Amino acid sequence: MTRVLMFGWEFPPFISGGLGTACYGLTTSMKKLGAEVHFVLPTFGKHEMTVSEIPLINASEVEIPNRVIINEEVIQRNRRLYEIFSQVTHLDTILKPYMTETIYQEELLKRRQEEVNETSSTHSFHVNSKTKFSFNGSYGASLRDEVYRLGYVGFSLGLGNDFDVIHAHDWMTYPAGIAAKQASGKKLIVHVHATEFDRSGEHVNQTVYDIERMGMHMADHIIAVSHRTKKIVTDHYGIHPDKVSVVHNGAIENEEIENQMKRPFKEKMVLFLGRITSQKGPSYFVEAANKVLKKKRNVRFIMAGDGDLMSKMVRRVAELKIGHRFHFTGFLRGDALTNIFKISDLFIMPSVSEPFGIVPVEAMRHEVPVIVSKQSGVAEILPDALKVDFWDVELLTKQILEILNNPAKTKRMIQKNNELVKELNWDKPAERVLEVYERVLS
Amino acid sequence: MISICLYLQIHHPIQLRNDYDFFKIGADHQYEDILKTEKMVKNLAEKCYVPLFNQLKEMISFHNDKFKISLSVSGIALENLKSFAPEVLDLINDLLKTDCLEIVGETYYHSLAFKYSEKEFVDQIKLHRNSMKEVFGVKTTTFRNTEMIFDNKLAPLIESLGFKTILTQGTRRILGWRSPGFMYQPKTSTKTNMLLNYAPLTEHIQYYFSARNWREFPITADKFTNWIHSLSGNGETVGLFLDAETFGVNHSHDSGIFQFLTALPNMILSRKDFCFQLPEEISMSHQPMARLDVPHTISWGDKERDLSLWSGNHMQNSTIEFLYSLEDIMRKNKNKDLLPIWRKLTSSDVFFQLHTKWDSENLSNRHFNHQSHFASPEKAFIVINNMINDLEQLSL
């Protein structure tokens, strides 16, 4: 039975994207196959506890070994650890257990001010004995610091050495994975759900890229969620293709809900659901909506989600004067999420760059036909879905009208989708991940 | 003789719910936050209306009916006062017994209907006139449009409804070299007169009375009277048009605004060539100085004195267009309850929530009727369009 030390950043029900759900689906199926997974999260509450079927480790409660164990000699010998630990500023003085983010930021500012005054440039890695770090586990202002702090936690857990392999999901957990590898000498697998190129296009954040690159190079093997992602890993991060395996994501079963809403409108509804950020291509959805409404009046468009482009989308919708047929719901979870699928007649994912993108599968589970961009990983496992280049608003418009105007064809599509989605659970991906472990460990 | 025309407006912005999300469409038809409205109205009554009208009554009797004021109460405010502070209406009725108070007409829903639907505009004026008759027993002959909106097209309409006087803003754009200290006649009407807000004076009270960084701080009755008296020989009317909430809310009790109000007529009337008059009296006793051509719509909003606070961006225009596209449906609908709800949404404050003029007069944003209930204009756009959508669904 393989024992896995796994690092993640989010877990249902408190998720911001697909990462938490994917981790949940993967680990649950891995457990069924006999793997013993210990899943480390920056922080969590009782909700995650009740959802999870596997043991969770709260990084905020992991004791960091004192100076005797992490001595500077070890760190100086190991350049990687130095890179990680040196990023954590003055942990000996300012990091107290359960500090809130605001207080932490204030303290940090104070310390930096003092730092300017001090001329000393030596870095202290001394940790007062039995220190715990606090994490807020969000993607806020303290993210970068927390990512490095999780490195200490990784090192500490690595010293425990009661596992066979380390598995780290996305860049936030790579420093922890590397530190655990250095402490234990065990093999490290990094799992790439998204890269900085997906999130930021060509405007890459150098810090994030550097962490990703370090993680991929320190890893003994890499799992990419699609061939598309594998290509980015080999092209942009200088990784040999043989070191990368593709394991497509699965989808978890939809939960049935009690309070099913009735359709608020008699018009057909077209849905966009996801973070409203440039990566997801919301503006192509808006432009297509405008073109469709010019040809067909009895359609409504829903943009579900939140993100930094939301205001811009609202203003554009107003400018196009389609506000009476275009709705914004904000971020959805639980019943509202299920309901929005149930009242939709078509789901569109016009992502500019989508490593995988599980939402179309969720839509298909609700018998909603989908159109996905060719720039999404999920397109690789949907042979029969309508596909479009994200920028091709003309074709997208045509496809939307084709589905809305052609009920017979839509019905056939839904039937095909129904057969397909039956196969799309997490059992196969979990099997593939265990195969990767086997290969790496042998 | 120089006539001072002190005019106060009472209007309450609708307190729209800010949690009216997509899922409430078709399921929940309550758009207003009634608790918030109640709290607001009770607070206004306690801090402003009750002390203000009590004081005005004393002032009128002290000056032997030589101190006069005019007042408008929007239909929305009237309904609110009826529900949550009826004692204020009694105070106003008390004042009406003195003949020193004139009630001014306007659109019932404080709407921009003048710009978007003539039919609706006229209907809302008639609604307001009827409710004034009913509650205060008066027939209004002076008209002020929402936000003092005025242009050439307005005057003939108002004339046809029997109004004699229109209150509006003395903007430089329509006056040119002329002074706002005279009565004028619109180019497009011979039976109505224009009484102008003397903005350079009014603003000292309206916006800056308690602003310690204002160059003229403190504004004392002495100083203010000097400015008014200095108009002698080059003006005939001085319009001081204010929100009633200037007293006690926008400027708190301890700013001394009530003492200022008490002292003002004492000092102004110390010179025999100054008096207080009601708009209808001024209209009868004065001759218009010139005829003004107003081809472009003006208002008393912001620095530009135009409509940009209410219809200056795409979010506002698209929402207005959507709302007014439902007018006929609402009028013809079998469900007679829908029209008043629709009309309430025509209130200018609804569109004010969508404005993006962040460089607009910062001081005015402190005023109670310029506060936003929403985190951003975009959030407001979503909520307001959800409501209009719900209303549309109700009409199907």
ipTM score? 0.91
Please, is A232 exposed, middle or buried when counting C-beta atoms within 10 Å of its C-beta (0-12, 13-18, 19+)? buried
Q: Do domains A3-68+128-246 and A268-421 have the same CATH topology?
A: yes
Say if the Cβ atoms of B389 and A327 lie within 8 Å. Answer: yes
Calpha distance B210→B322 (Å, rounded): 40
pLDDT of residue A95: 38
Residues A5/A155, Cβ–Cβ less than 8 Å? no
Q: In sequence order, what are the residues at sequence separation of 6 or more whose Cβ sits closer than 8 angstroms to the Cβ of residue A352?
A: A201, A278, A279, A280, A281, A373, A375, A390
Q: Is A132's pLDDT higher than 90?
A: no
Q: Which CATH class is domain A268-421?
A: alpha beta
pLDDT tens digits for range A390-424: 999 999 999 999 999 999 999 999 999 999 988 88
In this structure, of A39-53, A98-112, A251-265, the range with the lowest mean pLDDT score is A98-112
pLDDT interval class at A133 (50, 70, 90): confident
Q: Using CB atoms, which residue from A261, A266, A323 is nearest to B319?
A: A323
Least CB-CB distance to A314: which of B25, B381, B392?
A: B381
- pLDDT of B6 reads 98
DSSP conformation class of A168? E
**Cβ contact, residue pair A339, B386, below 8 Å:** no
How far apart are alpha carbons B8 and B225 in whole angstroms? 19
In contact, B386 and B25? CB cutoff 8 Å: yes
Contact A315 B376 (CB under 8 A): no
Compute the average pLDDT of residues A152-161. 86
Query: Within an 8 Å CB–CB cutoff, is residue A334 touching chain B?
Result: no
CA distance B313 to A270: 27
Residue A108 Cα distances to A101, A111, A123, angstroms? 10, 5, 16
Q: Which two tokens stand for residue B142?
A: 């002076």
Q: State the smallest CA–CA distance between residue B32 and chain A in angstroms.
A: 20
Per-residue pLDDT reduced to its tens digit, A417-439: 999 988 888 999 999 999 999 99
> Residue B315: which of A262, A318, A339 has the nearest Cβ?
A318
Is A315's CB within 8 Å of B21's CB? Answer: no
Residue of A nearest to B21 (CA): A329
CB-nearest partner of A323 from B23, B25, B322: B322
Are A310 and B25 inside 8 Å of each other by CB?
Answer: no
Task: List beta partners, residue A166.
Answer: A5, A188
Q: What is the pLDDT of residues B217-258, one digit of tens each?
A: 999 999 999 999 999 888 999 999 999 999 999 999 999 999
pLDDT at position A70, please?
A: 52
* Separation CA A263–CA B340 (nearest Å): 26
Q: Other CB atoms closer than 10 Å to residue A56's CB: what's the count?
A: 17
Contacts 24+ apart (CB under 8 A), B79-86: B80/B12, B80/B37, B80/B41, B81/B10, B81/B41, B81/B45, B81/B49, B83/B38, B83/B41, B84/B37, B84/B38, B84/B41, B84/B42, B84/B45, B85/B41, B85/B42, B85/B44, B85/B45, B85/B49
Helix (H, G, I), strand (E, B) or coil at A327: strand
B contacts of A310 (beta carbons < 8 Å): 378
State both tokens at A123.
Answer: 């870095």
Q: Do A318 and B313 touch (CB under 8 A)?
A: yes
Of the candidates B314, B388, B392, which has its C-beta nearest A318's C-beta?
A: B314
A347/chain B closest Cα distance in angstroms: 17
Residues of chain B with pLDDT under 50: 362-363
**How many residues are present in chain A?**
442
Nearest chain A residue (CA) to B375 = A311
Please, are residues A340 and A362 in contact by the beta-carbon 8 Å criterion?
no
Paired with B372 in beta bridges are none
Distance from CA of B310 to the nearest CA of A (A): 15
Give the per-residue pLDDT at A78.
67
Interface of B with A (CB under 8 A): 21-23, 25-27, 313-315, 317-319, 321-322, 325, 376, 378, 381-382, 385-386, 388-389, 392-393, 396
Q: What are phi and psi of A368, to 5 degrees?
A: -105, 125
**What would the pLDDT profile of A106-116 be if each residue is shown by its tens digit?**
655 665 555 44
- Chain B nearest-CA distance from A339, in A, is 9
pTM of the complete model beyond 0.90: no
Torsion, CA A17, CA A22, CA A25, CA A31, rounded to 10: -130
* Partner-chain contact A327 B23, CB within 8 Å: no
Q: How confident is the model at residue A217 (pLDDT cuts 50, 70, 90)?
A: very high
Residue B304: what pLDDT? 84
Residue A12 above 90 pLDDT? Answer: no
Chain A contact set for B25 (CB, 8 A): 264-265, 327
Interface of A with B in 257-286 (CB under 8 A): 261-262, 264-266
Residue A119 has pLDDT above 60, yes or no: no
Which chain A residues contact residue B386 at CB under 8 A? 327
Per-position DSSP letters for A28-73, written without gaps between them: HHHHHTT-EEEEEES---HHHHHH-SS-EEEGGGPEEP-TTTS-HH
Q: What is the DSSP letter of A118?
A: -
Q: In this complex, which of A265, A328, A336 lies closest to B382 when CB atoms are compared?
A: A328
A324/B392 CB distance under 8 A: yes
Strands A268-273 and A244-246: unpaired
**Residue A334 C-alpha, separation from nearest chain B C-alpha, in angstroms:** 13
Take residue B132 and report the two structure tokens written for it: 């004034």
What are the domain boundaries of chain A? 3-68+128-246, 85-126, 268-421
Contact flag B392-A264 (C-beta cutoff 8 Å):
no
Share of chain A above pLDDT 90, in %: 57
The tokens 């407006």 sit on which residue? B9
From chain A, the residues in CB contact with B388 under 8 A are 324
Average pLDDT over residues A365-391: 94
pLDDT tens-place string over residues A31-90: 999 999 999 999 887 777 666 778 899 888 888 765 434 555 555 556 677 667 666 644
DSSP per-residue letters across B291-323: EE---S-B-SSTTTTSSHHHHSSHHHHHHHHHH
User: Does residue A101 have a pLDDT over 70?
Assistant: no
Q: Are A23 and A193 in contact (CB under 8 A)?
A: no
Nearest to B376 among A264, A311, A317 (CB): A311
Helices marked H in B18-164 — which ranges? 34-44, 50-62, 75-84, 86-96, 113-116, 118-136, 154-160
CA distance linking residue B388 with residue B321, whole number of Å = 11
Q: Residue A5, SS3?
A: strand
Instruction: State the fold for domain A3-68+128-246.
Output: Rossmann fold (3.40.50)
Strand A3-7 versus strand A165-169 pairing type: parallel
Residues 6+ apart with CB under 8 A from A442: none
* Alpha-carbon span B65 to B58, nearest angstrom: 10
User: Of B21, B382, B385, which has the smallest distance from its Cβ to A324's Cβ?
Assistant: B385
CB pairs under 8 A between A and B: 67
User: How far does the CA of residue A125 sit from the closest CA of chain B (Å)?
Assistant: 44
Q: Which of A321, A329, A339 sits opposite B321 (nearest CB)?
A: A321
**Cβ atoms of A408 and A195 closer than 8 Å:** no
The two tokens of residue A301 are 């468009």
